[in-house]
Structure 1
Amino acid sequence: MNIIISNSSGEPIYEQIRNQIRKLIISDNLKEGDSLPSIRNLAKELKISVITTKRAYEELERDGFIETIPGKGSFIAAQNKELLREIKMKNVEEYLIKAIEEGKNVNVSLEELKEMLDVLYE
C-alpha cells in the first residue's frame, strides 16, 4: 500500500491516511477481506506516531470501511454497495460542478457543455 504524507498539506496526517485508504477502497484497489498493515508497521513505514495511525484506523472503522479483529489485524470490511455507489456519484457531481464553473468562467453555454459531455461520454 502506497500512502504519501505531505507535511505542506493543511490536512492533518491522520486524515491524509484515512482519505487515501478510503479512496483505495472506493476505487476497488483494496477489496473486502484484504488486510491492512498493522498500526505499528504503518507508523514505522511512514515515520509517524503510532497514535496518528491508530486514529486513522479508528475513523475508518467508525465509518465502516475497515474492521479490526483483536490479535489478527485490520481488514477491509464488506461494503454496502449502495453506499459506495452514492459516494462515487458524489465524486462525479463534484467534478461536474468544477467543469460547470470553468465553463462559466469562459462563457461556455449550457448547450455547449451538454454537447461536450455527449461527445466525451461516447
Structure 2
Amino acid sequence: MSKPEFFVTPGYGEKKLALHHYTQAVKIDNRVEIAGQGGWNDDDEYPEAIADEIARAFENVERTLALTGATWDHVIHVNSYHLPMDGEALEGDGREVPALHARPGADLDVHRSPGPG
C-alpha cells in the first residue's frame, strides 16, 4: 500500500490546518478524498447570497482537486449539504453540477441534504 500524501490548499487551507489541524485532501495511490469545502474565501469570509456561497464552495473543490492532480473529470461522488434547504440553495447548487451530468460517460452522484438543525 502506498503512503498517503496530504494536501493543504494555499490560503484558506493553511489557516484551517493551523486552527483545526486538518488538511484539505489526502491521496493514496490514485484515490483522492477531500475534506468538506465551504463557500469561504482565503480570509474565511462568506458571500451574503447562498447561491454565491455554493458557487464558491464548488470553486474551492476545484482548487483542492487541482492540488492533487485531479479535475472534475475524475469526480464520481459529491455530497452537497445546504441550509436553508430552499429554492435559492437548490438553484445555486444546480448551476454548478449539470455540466458534470452532461459530460458523456459521467458517473456522478450528487446528494443534496439539509445540514444539521
Scaled to the shorter chain, the TM-score interval is: 0.3 to 0.5
Structure showing the higher helix proportion among its residues: 1
Larger radius of gyration between Structure 1 and Structure 2: 1
TM-score, L = length of structure 2: 0.36
TM-score, L = length of structure 1: 0.35
